[in-house]
Structure 1
Amino acid sequence: MNATPAETSGSALRAMGGLSFSKGHGTGNDFVLVADPDGTHSFDADQAAALCDRHQGIGADGLIRAVPSRFLPEGRELLVDTPAAEWFMDYRNADGSLSEMCGNGVRVFVHFLRTEGLIDLPDGGSLAIGTRGGVKTVVWTGNDYAVDMGPWEFIFPGEASAKAMDSLVAADGLEVPRPALSVSMGNPHTVVALAELAELAGTRLFTAPKVDPVPANGTNVEFVVPAEPLVHDGVGSVTMRVHERGVGETQSCGTGACAAAVAIRHWAGAEAPDVWRVHVPGGVVGVKFFAGPGGHEHVELSGPAVIVASGTLS
């Protein structure tokens, strides 16, 4: 007889008995965090899913293992060009699947390193972090964390540059599929603009939206309402909800906030600002565009990070 999901979850949790962990969030996007300075705690998909289960585990949108980069093949590759990226954010979604990067997660990750005494990061100090989406540089401002998320790009560049739309998205609560734009922030996103907040509230994200065509590795889907007026005192503003690949709807998504700002700014045209505020169910994050190395435009994500609890699995 095959094990039930509850039995699988219980078995996975028992195998991790005695594990020390913390729980943290960035604007409501929450994570279980485990410090692994010796590289001895690897997690499989079942274990990650059991920890993130909101009914029979701790509950989170994802699991973050803080491990020195030298203990992972992906980390060792990054160390060749960026020796300063000593710590690696080993991240799994709530369903146990590996993910390239999480913008809220990397802020919480660095805050966790600080609170655990694993790094010394003064006000204004920066830290290079290894992720499966490349090296990310995080600055501690004294109030929150700002992350250079690296360059953005269109997933389907030819279609986007020609039509400003490259796909259609169908979701429960929307009468007809809506045009969308697919943006990569190191992980895939598909952004849909809606007309008003009532339409955003009526979009039901219990099940994954259907995207056509869907990017090769799946996609996160952002539903965005531009503010009216869109720009105030030189700052653009949008409100967003997101369905995250491998998770479901979350209170916030850092890379999704960046992708939403990319898409709305692209649609708004040449006069659109470089600084944005993105309102998500869990709070507000800042997005800023700036010229990066090699002439590529980079995106900075800023916002808070909070550790709410620490404990040990029984």
Structure 2
Amino acid sequence: MTTLRFTKGHGTGNDFVLVSDPEGALELTPARRAALADRRFGVGADGVIRAVRSESIPEGRALLETDPDAEWFMDYSNADGSVSEMCGNGIRVFARYLLERGHVALPPGQSLAIGTRAGVIDVHRLADGFAADLGRWRLDGGDTLVRARELPVARPGLGINVGNPHVVVALASDEELDAVDLGVAPLLDPAPPAGANVEFVVPADPLVADGVGRIRMRVHERGSGETLSCGTGAVAAALAVRYWAGESAPNEWRVRVPGGVLGVRMFPAEDGEHVALSGPAELVFEGEIRL
């Protein structure tokens, strides 16, 4: 039986179990990851993050060929043990974890390159949190119909990829948003081959205040269910609402999720438009568990 030391962390209520495995020696099978994330028999979390040096994992070694600064790799999995490309809240918590464990030095105002299955992500340390440059985003189109419990009529969803896949659905009111039962996974037609996170979003009234767009969102994450927050989901929701609003829409957004508020900013870069996610990242306790 293996005794594993872990840290529990969260970003706006999106919570994670983090373990340190610099040399990639741990046998963290999907079943063990799911056991860690189990809220009744394990630690409990929306996802599991393994901190491993990029040179110790095949996906990380491939990234080092083009970005040798990405010393650490965020090996992320969903609550059911399935591997995911990236997690926007998770990468901020991961940066906090690396910093507090002494794996990296990251003074305020500096950036850290982190390897993920979605590529290398630069995380910038702020005075009160972290901001992650999620890179270029991609519009996947609006041909998906979304059905959800307590949503009377199927709604069209807009596909957006920010390193992982999302389908964003616009709703008419806070009441409609509150009524949706996300304890059951929404049905997507056609179903994306790798699945998708599904965001339901309502614009604030007014939509824009002091040059900042404002929306409210709930999310069902593939492999995890409804979560209090989804960082990449907040980014996808802001991108979708900006797309629907048209050319006059702002490039800075505040996204209210059940666990708090996240910031989203779109900005030009050499390889196209990038999108950044900002928000808090907290480590709440440490412990040991027998697997």
Q: TM-score, normalised by structure 2?
A: 0.98
Q: 1:52 aligns with which of 11, 31, 37?
A: 37
* Larger fraction in helix: 1
Q: Secondary structure at the match of 1:139?
A: strand
Alignment of 1:1-314 (within 5 A): 15-16=1-2, 18-155=3-140, 160=141, 165-294=142-271, 296-314=272-290
How far, CA to CA, are the matches of 1:242 and 1:221 in structure 2? 6
How far, CA to CA, are the matches of 2:269 and 2:199 in structure 1? 25
Q: Give the root-mean-square deviation of aligned CA atoms.
A: 0.8
Aligned-partner residue type, residue 277 of structure 2 = L
Output one character per residue of 1:46-85: Cα deviation in whole Å (capped at 9) or x when no partner: 0000000000000000100000000111100100000000
Shift of 1:36: 1.1
How far, CA to CA, are the matches of 1:148 and 1:133 in structure 2? 12
How far, CA to CA, are the matches of 1:64 and 1:171 in structure 2? 29
Q: Secondary structure at the match of 1:273?
A: coil
Aligned-partner residue type, residue 152 of structure 1 = W
How far, CA to CA, are the matches of 1:287 and 1:252 in structure 2? 14
Output one character per residue of 1:206-225: Cα deviation in whole Å (capped at 9) or x when no partner: 11100112222111000000
How far, CA to CA, are the matches of 1:248 and 1:184 in structure 2? 19
Shift of 1:312: 1.2
How far, CA to CA, are the matches of 1:89 and 1:255 in structure 2? 15
Residue ranges of structure 2 left out of the alignment (5+ in a row): none
Residue ranges of structure 1 left out of the alignment (5+ in a row): 1-14
How far, CA to CA, are the matches of 2:102 and 2:61 in structure 1? 23
Q: Which runs of 4 or more aligned residues in structure 1 lie more than 3 Å from their structure 2 counterparts after TM superposition? A: none
Q: TM-score, normalised by structure 1?
A: 0.91
How far, CA to CA, are the matches of 2:213 and 2:173 in structure 1? 16
Greater CA deviation, 277-286 or 212-221?
A: 212-221
Query: Between Structure 1 and Structure 2, whose CA radius of gyration is higher?
Result: 1
Q: Secondary structure at the match of 1:104?
A: helix
* Larger fraction in strand: 2
Shift of 1:39: 1.9
Q: How many equivalent residue pairs? A: 290
How far, CA to CA, are the matches of 1:125 and 1:273 in structure 2? 26
